[in-house]
């Protein structure tokens, strides 16, 4: 049975793990929340590169993973190239803001993108945006909004702060460049944000489609490893680890995955 390592700066990658558990049968999962170093999105890129290297090494040495899912847009944007260079024999799947699916879904071509500052400033994101614009037969308008503090508020389970930050950032998107009309599609470009999708959806209204990446990433992982379709059995097939407070990860996993078991501490 293959063991798939999955990691994020914290609990956000549970939104990707949820899709992996729903789409892949017959695999074991080890999820690591690097909560003692969250948030990644407002750190220097060298710090994110260093954390991802340490995590990949620890998951390989201590948990013998056969593949790694980087369930974090920021870590993918800043560190996946160096991770692949250091681990050429390990299948690695990353997560990127879903600009192309959003371009295919949008009618107006006006698309909001919520992500961390680190993701939006990365060369990888700039290239993805340019490629998506140049591949499109019609003009696209991407309105990119860095969401300082939002992943952290979700990480802490602080609903009041989460609501206030969602209001601030959706308001900023709605008032940006009003002459070209409102957005009709919103990309959740950070794996924490699906856990605020109710608040974001209510603020945007029913005319705006919210796009996240958990399911496409799960399908890509399944195809890459030649695994069977179906749902994994929880909690037997899942180990939860945290570099921060394991109780907080257990609580988040109970809330978002249902019946996920207890998390354990891991120093990396």
Q: Which residues of this chain interact with ligand DGL, rule CB under 6 A?
A: 8-9, 12, 38-41, 72-74, 116, 119, 151, 190-192
**Which residue number places its CB atom closest to ligand DGL?**
41
Q: Report, in Å, the least distance between residue 12 CB and ligand DGL.
A: 3
Smallest gap from residue 97 Cβ to ligand DGL (A): 9
Question: Could you list the active site residues?
Answer: 72, 190
Nearer to ligand DGL, 31 or 184 (CB): 31
Shortest Å, Cβ 73 to ligand DGL: 4
Residue with Cβ nearer ligand DGL (73 or 162) = 73
Q: How far apart are CA 7 and CA 4, in angstroms?
A: 10
Q: Which is nearer to ligand DGL, 8 or 23 (CB)?
A: 8
51/109 with CB nearer ligand DGL: 51
Task: Burial-class residue 50 by CB neighbours within 10 Å (0-12, 13-18, 19+).
Answer: middle
Nearest distance from residue 117's CB to ligand DGL, in Å?
Answer: 8
């Amino acid at each position: 049975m293959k063991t798939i390592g999955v990691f994020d700066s914290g609990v956000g990658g549970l939104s990707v793990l949820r899709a992996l558990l729903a789409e892949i049968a017959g695999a074991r999962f080890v999820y690591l929340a690097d909560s003692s170093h969250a948030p990644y999105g407002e750190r220097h890129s060298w710090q994110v590169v260093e954390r991802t290297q340490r995590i990949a090494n620890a998951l390989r040495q201590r948990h013998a993973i056969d593949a790694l899912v980087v369930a974090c847009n920021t870590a993918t944007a800043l560190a996946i190239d160096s991770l692949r260079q250091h681990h050429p024999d390990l299948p690695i799947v990353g997560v990127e803001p879903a600009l192309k699916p959003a371009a295919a879904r949008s009618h107006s071509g006006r698309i909001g993108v919520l992500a961390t500052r680190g993701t939006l400033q990365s060369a990888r994101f700039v290239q993805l945006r340019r490629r998506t614009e140049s591949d499109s037969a019609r003009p696209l308008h991407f309105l990119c909004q860095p969401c300082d503090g939002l992943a952290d508020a979700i990480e802490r389970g602080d609903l009041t702060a989460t609501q206030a930050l969602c209001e601030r950032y959706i308001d900023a998107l709605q008032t940006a460049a009003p002459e070209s009309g409102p957005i009709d599609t919103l990309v959740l470009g950070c794996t924490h944000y699906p856990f605020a999708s109710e608040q974001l959806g209510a603020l945007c209204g029913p005319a705006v489609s919210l796009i996240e990446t958990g399911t496409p990433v799960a399908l890509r992982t399944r195809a890459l490893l030649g695994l069977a379709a179906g749902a994994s059995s929880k909690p037997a097939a899942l180990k939860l680890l945290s570099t921060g407070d394991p109780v907080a990860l257990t609580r988040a996993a109970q809330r978002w995955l249902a019946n996920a078991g207890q998390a354990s501490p891991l120093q990396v």
